[in-house]
Structure 1
Amino acid sequence: MTYPIYLLKRQARRLSRAKNIPLHDALDQIARREGFQAWSHLSSAITRQADPEPNLVSAPGGLLLIGARPGQGKTVTGLIWAADAVRSGHRASIFSLEETEPAIQARLLRLDRRDVVTSDRLQIDLTDGLDADHIISRLGAAQPGDIAIVDYLQLLDQNRRSPPLRDQVTRLRALAQEKRMRIACLSQIDRRFELSGKSLPDYTDVRRADALGANLFDKAYFLHKGRTGLVALSTSG
């Protein structure tokens, strides 16, 4: 689907008010836009009736992995998480090697987050050669509850002068704990997942998981074809 299901419900409520139509009609219209026959069809295609709100998936001081194949909603999930932090009075930093600033702003506008786009609590950093050292340097003044989104994990060590990926993620986790902030790393999922028969990816499907180990992230949030799953991961403390 284009967006997580809780956001589709929000869009349906807005559509209902804008067109003065019953909510069930608006839900069906949203479902058809997403390629389903009706809302009931969409609902039956997912294992959960609602996604957790992004603010619930990681406590302050936590490091979260958001993993999905392309087009499944991981970037949208990260942006919603950041935008909701801004709306609640925290700062949000988006570090990306994938998106342009106009593209990120356009996504936020489509998500009905115009106020976030113009907020001085939102920082968008698209520095070439982005790595953990740079991220840490930009978050020196972070406060408890602030959020950082890293788009995406597997690009952090593309610069040969940057430390190995595991070392960088270890430093980001230490930063999250020290500042009592929340950091989410968007992650690629290996294409072999699509041949696995599983309805959702898991940590073994994370691209370059062997270079990371499983003890760095507090939680992982996976998305695929409207299904979502939040899992706790063992951590080293």
Structure 2
Amino acid sequence: MKLSAPLFRLKRQARLLSREEGIPLNKALDRIAAGEGFRSWSQLAAKVARDHRPGAGLFAQLEPGDLVLLGARPGQGKTLLGLELLLEAAKAGRKGTFFTLDYHAEDVAQRLRSMGGEPEAAGRDFALDTSDGICADHIVGRMRGAPRGTLSVIDYLQLLDQRRDRPALAEQLRALKAFTVASGQIAVLISQIDRTFDARGSGLPGLADVRLPNPVDLTLFTKCCFLHEGEISLEEVRAA
């Protein structure tokens, strides 16, 4: 389905509608999305993200040793982008693994179909790990010995902090950073963004918007990528 106008113009229409009718911006966005044939603005934004397919450009900017944070609010396409990165790695002849504590194999298959891919891609083009035991030690053990430039996508950061029998999230992140630096592999951690970001009503999230149940040094990441309403940014992370 082709949009009647570029995304930024639709957002501008929503802001005008919000002011003119005195309704919240999120309601105005949903009304504009309905006029385009979508149930909600988040569904429209996810469709734009899928069609835009930014994975190739993003993958080209990743380097051996990178630890990357990929953050977005629900429905913005962050899981799809993570899978797209793995498919791009496969095209480049790189190994890859999708570690997920959130999805089952059939969920991954459905997302591949939504991208126009084949469910058989998981297993043929990259490995899929849905173990309940996923944590930094598990990931390092699974990836140890893999070639330089191998890509891991971890879904997602906050779920690594769920079990009390696992090391603290800060410790796990330090372990993953040490491993990527030593091995020359690349790890991308999908991350939730705090709900308070929605109250701002515009722009892209940043590191300050990452939802953290417990303190974590986010400057351990070498790069951060954020998605929102079809827009995407990739930046270097600099220590404070």
Q: In structure 2, what is the equivalent of residue 104 of structure 1?
A: 108
CA distance in 1 between partners of 2:122 and 2:202 (Å): 41
- More helix per residue: 1 or 2? 2
Decide whether the 8 Å contact of 2:90 with 2:126 is kept in 1. yes
Residue 56 of structure 1 and its aligned partner are, at CA, apart by 2.5
Counterparts in 2 of 1:118 and 1:136: CA distance versus 1, 3 Å: closer
User: What is the Cα deviation at residue 121 of structure 1?
Assistant: 4.4
CA distance in 2, matches of 1:41, 1:87: 30
Q: Is the 8 A contact 1:129 1:158 kept in 2?
A: no
- How far the C-alpha of 1:109 sits from its partner, in A, is 2.8
Moved over 4 A (4+): none
Letter in 1 for 2:64: P
Q: CA RMSD in A?
A: 2.3
Partner of 1:11: none
Matched letter for residue 109 of structure 2 = Q
Please list the CA deviations of residues 110-161 of structure 1 after superposition, one character each: whole Å capped at 9, or x if unmatched.
3233286165441111111321011111101211111000000001121101
Do residues 41 (structure 1) and 2 (structure 2) align?
A: no
Query: Does structure 1 residue 214 correspond to structure 2 residue 218?
Result: yes
Identity score, percent: 33
1:30 aligned to 2:5? no
Amino acid across the alignment from 1:41: P
> TM-score, normalized by length of structure 2?
0.76
1:83 touches 1:113 (CA, 8 Å); kept in 2? no
Q: Aligned equivalents of 1:194 and 1:234: distance in 2?
A: 25
Shift of 1:106: 2.3
Work out whether residues 218 and 235 of structure 1, in 8 Å CA contact, stay in contact via their aligned partners in 2. no
Q: Any stretches of 5+ residues in structure 1 without a counterpart?
A: 1-28, 32-37
Contact 2:69 2:223 in 1 (8 A): yes
TM-superposed CA distance for 1:43, in Å, is 5.3
* Amino acid across the alignment from 1:195: A
From 170, 180, 186, the counterpart of 1:182: 186
Q: Tell me the alpha carbon deviations over residues 27-56 of structure 1, each in whole angstroms, 9 at most, x when there is no partner.
A: xx332xxxxxx2x3325458xxx7572313
Q: Which residue number in structure 2 is paired with residue 95 of structure 1?
A: 99
SS state at 2:62 partner: coil
- What corresponds to 1:19 in structure 2? none
SS of the residue 2:138 aligns to: helix
Q: Is 1:204 the counterpart of 2:208 in the alignment?
A: yes
* Mapping 1:142-161, distance limit 5 Å: 142-161=146-165
Deviation at 1:212, TM superposition (A): 1.2
Alpha-carbon distance in 2 for matches of 1:194, 1:178: 38
| Residue number in structure 1 paired with 2:130 | 126
- 1:207: Cα distance to partner? 0.5
3-state SS, counterpart of residue 188 of structure 2: strand
Deviation track 1:53-82 (CA, whole Å, cap 9, x = no partner) reads 231342111000000000001101100001
Q: Residues of 2 paired with 1:70 and 1:88: CA distance?
A: 29
Aligned to 1:72: 76
Name the CA distance, whole Å, in 2 between partners of 1:198 and 1:42.
13
- Give the SS at the match of 1:211: coil
Q: Which residue of structure 1 lines up, in the alignment, with residue 168 of structure 2? A: 164
How many residues are paired up? Answer: 199
SS at match of 1:82: helix
Aligned partner of residue 145 in structure 1, secondary structure: coil
Give the conservation status (yes or no) of the 8 Å contact 2:180–2:186. Answer: yes
